Amino acid sequence: MAFTTSLDRPAAPLGIRDWIARKLETRRVEREKFRTYFRTYGELSRLSDRELADIGLARDDIAEVALRHAYG
């Protein structure tokens, strides 16, 4: 009977600095998405109904379009 030894090690747990860095990066990305949503919403809201119709949108579509643009 043969015995084998596995050299695969589980991933080392994250240190506190790595954890904090990941949390800060996640927060930065989410904040940027939030800003993108409101910027897009604001820009589309400033268009007239005629301009919105020219690009194939109704005023009721603005929130959905801004969400899709910011969050995918």
In a domain, 9, yes or no: no
Q: In this structure, is residue 25 part of a structural domain?
A: no
Summarize pLDDT for 49-70 with one digit per residue, the tens: 999 999 999 999 999 999 999 9
pLDDT score of 39 more than 90 = yes
Sequence-separated (6 or more) residues with CB below 8 Å from residue 30: none
For the entire predicted model, the pTM comes to 0.71
Average pLDDT in the chain: 89
Q: Flag whether 65 is in a domain.
A: yes
Q: Which amino acid, residue 52?
A: L
Structural domain for 72, as ranges: 36-72
Establish if 56 belongs to a structural domain: yes
Say if residue 9's pLDDT is above 80. no
Q: Is residue 1 part of a domain?
A: no
Q: Using CA atoms, how far apart are residues 23 and 26, in angstroms rounded to an integer?
A: 5
| Total count of domains within the chain | 1
